[in-house]
Structure 1
Amino acid sequence: MSRTLRYIRILSWLFLAGGAGAAMVLAAFYLYLQPGLPSVDQLRDVNFQTPLKVYTRDSKLIAEFGEMRRTPRDLEAVPAHQVQAFLAAEDSRFHEHHGVDLRGLIRAAWELALTGSIQSGGSTITMQVAKNFFLSRDQTFLRKFNEILLALQIERELSKDEILELYLNKIYLGNRSYGIEAAAQVYYGKPVTDLNLAEMAMIAGLPKAPSTANPLADPERALARRDWILSRMASLGYISGDEYRQATSKGVNARYHGPELALNAPYVAEMARQQALRQFGQQIYSEGFEIHTSVHSEKQEAATRALRQGLEAYDRRHGYRGPIDQWAPEMLNDRDALSKRLEDLPRVNDLVPAAIVALDDNTATAVTALHDRITIPMRHMRWAREYINENRTGPEPESPQDVVAKGDVVYVRIPVQDVLGPERERDTLTAELMQIPEIQGAIVSMSPDNGRIEALSGGYSFSMSSYNRATQAYRQPGSAFKPLIFLAALEHGATAATTINDAPIVFDDEDLETAWRPENVGGQFRGPTTLRQALYQSRNLVAIRLLRQTGIRRTLNYIDSLGLDTSRLPDDLSLALGSGPMTPMEMTRAYAMIANGGYEVTPWVIERIVGPEGKVRREAPETHRCNDCSEDQAVLDAALPDLNRNNGNNGNTDPIRPVHTMERVADEEAIYILQSMMRDVIQRGTGRAARSLGREDLAGKTGTTNDQLDTWFMGFNTGIATGTWVGFDQPRSLGRREFGSVTALPIWKDYMEVALRGMPGKLMERPAGIVSRRIDPDTGETATTDNPDARFEIFRSRYAPEAASSGEPGSRDDSEGGEDGESTPAQQLF
């Protein structure tokens, strides 16, 4: 035997022995690792980490919460070129191998031998699925071997299309986007089905270095990767030469797109998020929960707009406080640097930061981060008198130079379609000089029938302050609290015609440094005044004497029985003037109780929470009213076992919808009279600006505290109750001419104009115990037949003055008319 053959035999045996040894090692690894491998069956029921989404009642998206943005897509809905781009970039032999590509592994091993470190890894798409779903990202041989075993197992149990679908929905693509649909939305602001070829290739290039080589972090590197993928697609026959040349000619047009929200309602979304978090925990951020809130998009949009406009109107009345910054002239000459610096300043709602670059006799010229030239005409700066203090402004400006200077950084409002994107090639745009209001406010609107929150906004801008003034700001309601004082009195024997002396009063208290001398707004006193007139004219002295007549402790106990928190209310006569702090939500809840005829109201903002499996996890309670809730609850408790048993028999394990009983907490006759009195607030009193809405069924009350620290308007009809508050976060005077009718009522009116559309006018049904009497408004006695000033007033029958003798026109015990008169009862207080 020749020496050559002997060497060949030796080498062959060595090769066989090495192969056998390697096989034994691999088999040992397999036998050791296989029992610990996860089951591939888990992939058939995988739940992708999907963020929490919050919607309005009419299914408009208002918020998205979660570390990952993901919207899973079926493979059939993914464009063919998008799939081919990923195959070209990651695994061109995907349809040929069985989970492991030996060529790729050999190439990776060769790179390791040459460089001493792992370069490409040789992973197939199937191996990446195994790693992303089951394994860590540690680059170790043990993890790699597990990855190979899992990939082989996955290929045996899942189809190629199933593997591709899992991969395309799981892969991380930078900027919190997971999966191709989320990436398309993040980088291009549109669904993956609307991407062009260049954009698809750009997304396919992201898995290699999603955080550092995406088109936002490193456009040049991302562009090179995109063009390489396009060349691979052309060489593999996925695209034609013309398609390749056309796609590579396109530049980088990616920019960050936040969640595409249909409506701005961040305060509502945050309330809903906090409630869901308390009930379901951290899983809400990753398991695809949906919250459908109680607000309706049309009303919510109207509430947000009305509040912002009302706060801006107040802010303008008090003058211009100057620019937010002043930049040197050399900065204005460097357009790129100027644009970058302006980009770093926050946008607030629809207000955009701008730098003044030129002035002439009639206009100021400015630039923004997205606009090379905008003009601010003098007519849009005329409001900008110099702010001196809350009561004084400077003279009206006559030229732009009286308002701004070159280099001033200001806020402007540009038509919304021009703010949304780059418009540097457009003709010159006209903008309006603005400033961010320091004043704040809140609006809450709810259904009196069931407590459903119809709309809510807790401030001018959530991005500036997430503090929700609608639910968190405890402020003095002032005269807006008076209806509760009057209701307590009505329940304890007073009438709308009860006469109380509107005259000066002094209280000496050893706990006070000086005597307390409460006054009416304007400092006038009117003498004997009916409660009806006192309420619509907001007479403070009458309210104080009425509270003293009813009793402070009795009134507090009554307010407590209405379901309101009395722990912060004062135990003294200042209670009559609304000195006890309450939130706008609490006040609106109280007014909703008045609006529905005296039934307790529990506000709620979540209509339903839907879990990742599409089942309703929580639902708003079904409400019904009861006059004797103990009897109604006993009937319900007796029925619940049968209801639950029936659900089980039907194979339905879902919980039944919760039931909430709205207990009667106020006498319907007293409520009926109070509603009548509060309608006069709008028809003839401090809220008469609301008459412009052209409705007879509206009732309400203004509120203004001492020194105009807080201003309110609360109003309702039987279908909706809405409250507005305006004030500074750190309480200070709004100015001596600012009252609830000036600041808060316009916001309420602008919102209600939208909220009341299509809502028929409806008054509370007249209770059987209500009677009418024709009385003398000066004496409170039954009117004589020859009294030309006599008016009808309504009474609870047991507190009505004696009727005139039969046949005389002073009696009316039927249920018609007489709600708008004013009168005095047979007895007079004080």
Structure 2
Amino acid sequence: MRKWFGWIFILLLIPLFLFLLLSSGQAVESLKSIPAALDERIPLNQAPAVLNSYIKDSEGAVISELKTEGQNRIYVPASQIPPQMKELFLQSEDKRFYEHAGLDFEGTARALLVNARNNSLDQGGSTITQQLARNLYLNHDRTYNRKLSELLISVQLERKWSKEKILESYLNTIYFQNNIYGVGAAADYYFSKPLKALTTAQMAYLAAIPNNPSLYNPLKHPEKTKKRQERLLELLAERGMLTAGQLEEEKSRSIKLNLKKKQEPYPDYTDYVMEELKQAVKVKEKLTDPEQISQKTREWIQSGITIETYLSPFLQERMYRANEAYLTEGHQSAAVMIDHQTHQIVAMSGGNHYKKHEFNRAFQAYRQPGSAIKPLLDYVPYIETKKADKNSLINSDRLCIQEFCPENYSKKEYGWVTMEKAFSQSYNTPAVRMLKEVGIGRAMNYLKPFHFKGIAPSDGYAAALGGVETGVSPLELANAYTSFGNEGQYQPGRAIKRILAMDGTVLFEWRDRPVQVWSKQTNTVMRDLLQSVIKKGTGKKASFESAYLGGKTGTTSDYYDVWFSGLSDRYTASVWFGKDKNGSIQSIYDQGSHLRYWKMIMGGDEQAGADR
């Protein structure tokens, strides 16, 4: 009885409310009009629906679909929603949609009678506008308070939005069970097709679900979904959109679901894209607090953005083939490849058989770089300050700096040798002498533009040989080595090309500018030294026919970390082999797997095919 009385009360309030709403003046000028109050309380600036976002590769193909809050929603503009789909919902949910102003007295009265008879609130008599108000701004609690709020918002929607926009928004927010929202996502999930590619029978099958998503869940109750679908097709026929023959033909069509399987072909790369997205948000929104950055990043993703990237599927697949070719049980690997001509990160491997959201060794693993740091911390500062060249002499005998007494890998002394000899054979004592002569503070200044997180002056002279407390990531090292391909200038490599808002406008693009870290003369000397490593030094197994190849090996104590970082005339790549919890990989070092891996991803292995 109380429910029945409550519905009568709501129905009686509606005319009074509309009268007040339509009143153009007030007895007291200081009081706001109902419309003005609604504008203040319910601005409706934009619909807060959560939308899917996308990550695309360099060729424009979607490589990751981003969903938040457990909602899968693909927004489809009204112009791309077939007339049959619109009519299916108009006839089944709100036949007088274009006649009422958001509230349908006939529908409400009908619901009142049904609810009074059943002593329940099962029938809402809601218009499409009311359902949209509920989907966008409210919950689905069956209370009178929520119902009154729904009425207010519905009136405001009708005041502010066109009928076409209301219908468009409604069709993009209704629930299709299985975390699917909107007609676009429903077509994509249940049939693996865009909405415009569906048959009338398929559209009617989808339109059957929202009336009672649990009851008409096609994955559990396909026979019930099919039965309601046929009733909806009959409604289209009554509207003259299907002939009798077409009606029977559509009814007889077999409905075969083709559920879309989530595809994430390049999780290593897309996981890094999400990390770079946070950096973009930080720059765009001028934020510093990590929590605010994370919150704003979620808001961007929920708004339906498209993230265009520089990922090359060809190079990424080649990197995966290299992973398989040089995979051995018990060790891990990581690699990053950058087009240093354009500063684009084109491929990335986060580990063997990497899975989404795992620990990504390409940018999250900080390992001691060994001799791979020598070009940046020892040789560049020394050549730059001493004006040395590849033929300059350097002492390769033992030395001690207080209690630090490094040795060459062979335990031998070689006396005075050329810079090229010391570099290509990766002698240790010359590198330490260079750092000592330049000074740790001054040498470390050359690393500042690269923003290494795990190298600091406090690491002391051991840093000359890669003996740092924290370490470097493959991404950091690859980024720094790109300077050798750009005449000593540094500009960070980026995975993200640009970020587009849902309407296609550009939301963000990187505006990096190159920084001159060392002189062109120093860079010329360094390129000769790097080339000597592959031609006649520790990196010979990485050699192949190319206009230019140069690089540097790196090995830490007890063979815990094995590196090779180098470049061709176009690409720079860093490769790391090791174990997550440390452990010797001497056999891999002896076989030169890290060098052959680098060779393969750079296009020098016949298995990889010709480079592009």
TM-score, with length taken from structure 2: 0.79
Tell me, in whole angstroms, the C-alpha distance in 2 between the residues paired with 1:473 and 1:31: 67
Tell me, in whole angstroms, the C-alpha distance in 2 between the residues paired with 1:310 and 1:221: 51
Tell me, in whole angstroms, the C-alpha distance in 1 between the residues paired with 2:81 and 2:10: 42
| Partner deviation per Cα, 1:171-217 (whole Å, 9 max, x = no partner) | 23334433211221122221001112332122112222336643235
Q: Which moved more, 1:523-532 or 1:307-316?
A: 523-532
Deviation at 1:97, TM superposition (A): 5.5
Partner of 1:308: 320
Deviation at 1:114, TM superposition (A): 1.8
Q: Does 2:531 align with 1:669?
A: no
Tell me, in whole angstroms, the C-alpha distance in 1 between the residues paired with 2:327 and 2:92: 57
Larger RCO: 1 or 2 (CA < 8 Å, sep 6+): 2
Residues 740 and 526 of structure 1: CA distance in aligned 2, closer, same or farther (over 3 Å): farther
What SS does the aligned partner of 1:471 have? coil
Tell me, in whole angstroms, the C-alpha distance in 1 between the residues paired with 2:12 and 2:216: 42
Matched AA of 1:700: G
Deviation at 1:700, TM superposition (A): 0.9
Residue 178 of structure 1: which of 161, 175, 181 is its match? 181
Matched AA of 2:334: A
Partner of 1:490: 383
Matched AA of 1:594: F
Tell me, in whole angstroms, the C-alpha distance in 1 between the residues paired with 2:205 and 2:325: 47
Matched AA of 1:671: N
Residue 200 of structure 1: which of 198, 203, 216 is its match? 203
Q: Does 2:572 align with 1:727?
A: no
1:711 and 1:744 in contact (8 A); partners too: no
Residue 140 of structure 1: which of 140, 143, 150 is its match? 143
Residues 154 and 508 of structure 1: CA distance in aligned 2, closer, same or farther (over 3 Å): closer
What SS does the aligned partner of 1:456 have? strand
| Partner deviation per Cα, 1:765-808 (whole Å, 9 max, x = no partner) | xxxxxxxxxxxxxxxxxxxxxxxxxxxxxxxxxxxxxxxxxxxx
Matched AA of 1:487: V
Matched AA of 1:314: Y
Determine what percentage of the aligned residue pairs are the same residue. 29
Residue 107 of structure 1: which of 81, 106, 110 is its match? 110
Tell me, in whole angstroms, the C-alpha distance in 2 between the residues paired with 1:465 and 1:739: 32
Deviation at 1:715, TM superposition (A): 1.0
Q: Does 2:590 align with 1:578?
A: no
1:216 and 1:255 in contact (8 A); partners too: no
Residue 338 of structure 2: which of 437, 443, 446 is its match? 446
Deviation at 1:460, TM superposition (A): 3.4
Tell me, in whole angstroms, the C-alpha distance in 1 between the residues paired with 2:508 and 2:161: 35
Residues 739 and 216 of structure 1: CA distance in aligned 2, closer, same or farther (over 3 Å): farther
Partner of 2:547: 696
1:708 and 1:736 in contact (8 A); partners too: no
Residue 277 of structure 2: which of 273, 278, 298 is its match? 273
Counterparts of residues 585-734 of structure 1 (less than 5 Å): 585-612=475-502, 614-621=504-511, 623-624=513-514, 662=515, 664-692=516-544, 694-717=545-568, 719-734=570-585
Counterparts of residues 44-123 of structure 1 (less than 5 Å): 49-67=50-68, 68-94=71-97, 99-123=102-126
Tell me, in whole angstroms, the C-alpha distance in 2 between the residues paired with 1:188 and 1:738: 50
Partner of 2:409: 520
Partner of 1:532: 420
Q: Does 2:406 align with 1:554?
A: no
Deviation at 1:51, TM superposition (A): 3.3
Residues 218 and 728 of structure 1: CA distance in aligned 2, closer, same or farther (over 3 Å): farther
Q: Where do 5+ consecutive residues of structure 1 fail to align?
A: 1-20, 319-437, 625-661, 759-830
Give the root-mean-square deviation of aligned CA atoms. Answer: 3.9
Counterparts of residues 187-336 of structure 1 (less than 5 Å): 187-210=190-213, 213-216=216-219, 218-234=221-237, 237-249=240-252, 253-254=256-257, 256-257=259-260, 265-278=269-282, 279-280=284-285, 281=296, 282-293=298-309, 295=310, 297-298=311-312, 301-316=313-328
What SS does the aligned partner of 1:170 have? coil
Tell me, in whole angstroms, the C-alpha distance in 2 between the residues paired with 1:458 and 1:263: 10
Matched AA of 2:442: N
What SS does the aligned partner of 2:564 have? strand
Partner of 2:589: 738
Tell me, in whole angstroms, the C-alpha distance in 2 between the residues paired with 1:670 and 1:248: 77
| Partner deviation per Cα, 1:491-544 (whole Å, 9 max, x = no partner) | 3545423455666x5869869xxxx774536x7776664331232233x3xx31
Question: How many aligned positions are there?
Answer: 566
Tell me, in whole angstroms, the C-alpha distance in 2 between the residues paired with 1:744 and 1:728: 17
What SS does the aligned partner of 2:89 have? helix
Matched AA of 2:306: E
Deviation at 1:30, TM superposition (A): 4.0
Counterparts of residues 455-474 of structure 1 (less than 5 Å): 455-463=347-355, 465-474=357-366
Tell me, in whole angstroms, the C-alpha distance in 1 between the residues paired with 2:602 and 2:500: 30
Tell me, in whole angstroms, the C-alpha distance in 2 between the residues paired with 1:559 and 1:748: 30
Bigger radius of gyration among the two:
1
When you count helix as a share of all residues, which structure comes out higher?
Answer: 2
Tell me, in whole angstroms, the C-alpha distance in 1 between the residues paired with 2:17 and 2:247: 46
Tell me, in whole angstroms, the C-alpha distance in 1 between the residues paired with 2:435 and 2:179: 62
Tell me, in whole angstroms, the C-alpha distance in 2 between the residues paired with 1:166 and 1:206: 17
